[in-house]
Each structure stands twice: as structure tokens, then as C-alpha cells.
């Protein structure tokens, strides 16, 4: 006879079953329902944010936070929506709360650093970005943004180093190539800057700023024909994208290069 059935025969069915170790610990059904509800609301919010409906996204994140006031990601996502909607104060408050809930959350600390730089607190931004990188060493966005902030503080060699690390971690990181191009141009590395702007345009053929920046460097190098071609491409893209201010400014650059002024 099977040993299990011998056990039942000797102890009785109920005694044997009670003596078996549980496979998993049972959890209240309500907790699963609540968790699923929060996940669904976060997904709804992210979809709305992708479509540019930031207020709709915020409503979904509000509901997620009401369902679970300690959900760190809900505050991070709502902070991002507030940021994209132009409300830096509310974004900052959400990221602060996310950090309070999870002091070792690199994403929350990174986003707080980004907000601090937008608000002009560059030193505070550096402190947050340092901490985010300490917690998550392979964090290309943090290196990219720290490079931008360091450039803003005038520390161009360290800015280039950070941006180089960003593209090392993510070889198709368009923003990091463009930002490194600007930093290299600022330190007089025209050749390196042109290479970075070229890489940026190859990764994103609609990046008007990269064409414009490369065009100005070509003009500085005396290559007028290539400079004008780049600046015209930049002007075309700015116009298509509805950026009239940059479009008019680029037309002015083209005129200056053509006249040699």
C-alpha cells in the first residue's frame, strides 16, 4: 500500500490532512484585487501620458494612490505627469514623497534630481544624481543628466566624462550624443563635437538641434557649403515641428553664413 494511504488508514483522513505542510500561505483575496486595481490604474495613466493627456494620467494616478497610499511608483508616475504638464512644484512634491517611502529607490532620487536642476538647484541636483548612480551604477539617464548639470556648472571635462559613460552604457542614446557634442564644442573639440552631432542625426533624423549645431561648427571651420546645408535642414525641421522661434533664428544664421558675417 502507498505510504500516504497507510498514514490515512492509521491516523484517519482528517488527522493526516491536517498534518500535511501547506504548499503556500493563503493571502486574502482582497489584497490581490486591490493590487490588480492599482496596476490597472497605473497602466491607464501611462497610456494617457503617452498620448499627451497628462491631466487624465494624473487622475488615474490619484486613484491609484487612494487605493494604495504607499505605492512608490504611483508617486513617481504622477510626478512625471506633473512635470510634463509644467507643474514643477507638484512634481517635486511627488518625488519627495517617493523618496520618503523608499529612500533607496534610484528612479525616485534621479527624478528629484532632474526637478531640482529644472528649478535651478544645480548643487542639489548633483547630490541626487550622485546618489542615484551610487545605487544603480548602470544608469545611463543619470549619467546623461549629471553631465548636463556639470556643464551648466562649468565643469566641462567631467561633463564630457559623464556623457561618454552614458553612451557607453547605451550606444543608441541620442540625447547623450547630442549633449556630449555641445560639451565637446564648448571645450574646443570641434571634430569630436561634429562626430557626436552626426551620430545624433543618424539615430534621430528629426533632431533639428543637432543639424543646426553641426552647421554652426562647419561654419566656424570655414566649410560654408556644408554649414548652409545643415542649417537649411535644421530650419526645415523646426518649421515642420512648429518651432517658429528656432526657425527664424536659424534663417538668421543662414544669412550670416552666406554673407560671411
The whole-number pLDDT of residue 25 equals 52
> In whole angstroms, what is the distance from residue 152 CA to residue 171 CA?
24
pLDDT > 70 fraction of the chain, expressed in percent and rounded: 87
Look at residues 194, 190, 183 and name the one whose alpha carbon lies nearest to residue 160.
183
CA distances (Å), 71 to each of 62, 98, 101, 198, in order?
11, 8, 8, 42
Residue 8 pLDDT > 50, yes or no? Answer: no
Question: Is the Cβ–Cβ distance between 211 and 237 less than 8 Å?
Answer: yes
pTM of the full structure: 0.84
CA distances (Å), 224 to each of 41, 196, 216, 233, in order?
54, 20, 9, 14
Question: Is the Cβ–Cβ distance between 180 and 216 less than 8 Å?
Answer: no
pLDDT > 90 fraction of the chain, expressed in percent and rounded: 84
Mean pLDDT of 201-209: 97
Q: Work out the pLDDT band at 260, boundaries 50, 70, 90.
A: confident
The whole-number pLDDT of residue 2 equals 52
**pLDDT tens-digit map of 12-46:** 444 444 444 454 554 554 465 678 888 999 999 99
**pLDDT tens-digit map of 167-202:** 999 999 999 999 999 999 999 999 999 999 999 999
9-30 per-residue burial string, b: 16 or more CB within 10 A, e: under 16: eeeeeeebeeeeeeeeeeeeee
The whole-number pLDDT of residue 31 equals 65
DSSP alpha helix (H) spans, the chain: 3-11, 13-19, 29-50, 54-67, 72-84, 88-101, 106-118, 122-135, 140-152, 156-169, 174-186, 190-203, 208-220, 224-240, 244-259
Amino acid at each position: 500500500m502507498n505510504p500516504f494511504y497507510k498514514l490515512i488508514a492509521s491516523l484517519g483522513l482528517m488527522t493526516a490532512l491536517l498534518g500535511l505542510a501547506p504548499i503556500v500561505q493563503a493571502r486574502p483575496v482582497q489584497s490581490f484585487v486591490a493590487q490588480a486595481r492599482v496596476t490597472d490604474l497605473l497602466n491607464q495613466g501611462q497610456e494617457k501620458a503617452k498620448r499627451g493627456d497628462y491631466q487624465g494620467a494624473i487622475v488615474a494616478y490619484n486613484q491609484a494612490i487612494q487605493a494604495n497610499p504607499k505605492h512608490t511608483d504611483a508617486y513617481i508616475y504622477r510626478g512625471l505627469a506633473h512635470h510634463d504638464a509644467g507643474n514643477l512644484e507638484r512634481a517635486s512634491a511627488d518625488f519627495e514623497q517617493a523618496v520618503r517611502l523608499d529612500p533607496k529607490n534610484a528612479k525616485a532620487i534621479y527624478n528629484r534630481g532632474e526637478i531640482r536642476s529644472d528649478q535651478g538647484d544645480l548643487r542639489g541636483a548633483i547630490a541626487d544624481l550622485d546618489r542615484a548612480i551610487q545605487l544603480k551604477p548602470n544608469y545611463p539617464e543619470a549619467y546623461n543628466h549629471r553631465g548636463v548639470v556639470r556643464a551648466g556648472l562649468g565643469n566641462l571635462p567631467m561633463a564630457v566624462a559623464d556623457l561618454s559613460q552614458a553612451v557607453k552604457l547605451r550606444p543608441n542614446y541620442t540625447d547623450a550624443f547630442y549633449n556630449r557634442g555641445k560639451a565637446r564644442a564648448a571645450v574646443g573639440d570641434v571634430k569630436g563635437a561634429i562626430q557626436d552631432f552626426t551620430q545624433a542625426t543618424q539615430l534621430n533624423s528629426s533632431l533639428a538641434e543637432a543639424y543646426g549645431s553641426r552647421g554652426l561648427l562647419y561654419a566656424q571651420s570655414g566649410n560654408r557649403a556644408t554649414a548652409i546645408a545643415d542649417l537649411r535642414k535644421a530650419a526645415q525641421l523646426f518649421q515642420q515641428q512648429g518651432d517658429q522661434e528656432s526657425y527664424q533664428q536659424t534663417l538668421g544664421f543662414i544669412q550670416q553664413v552666406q554673407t560671411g558675417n
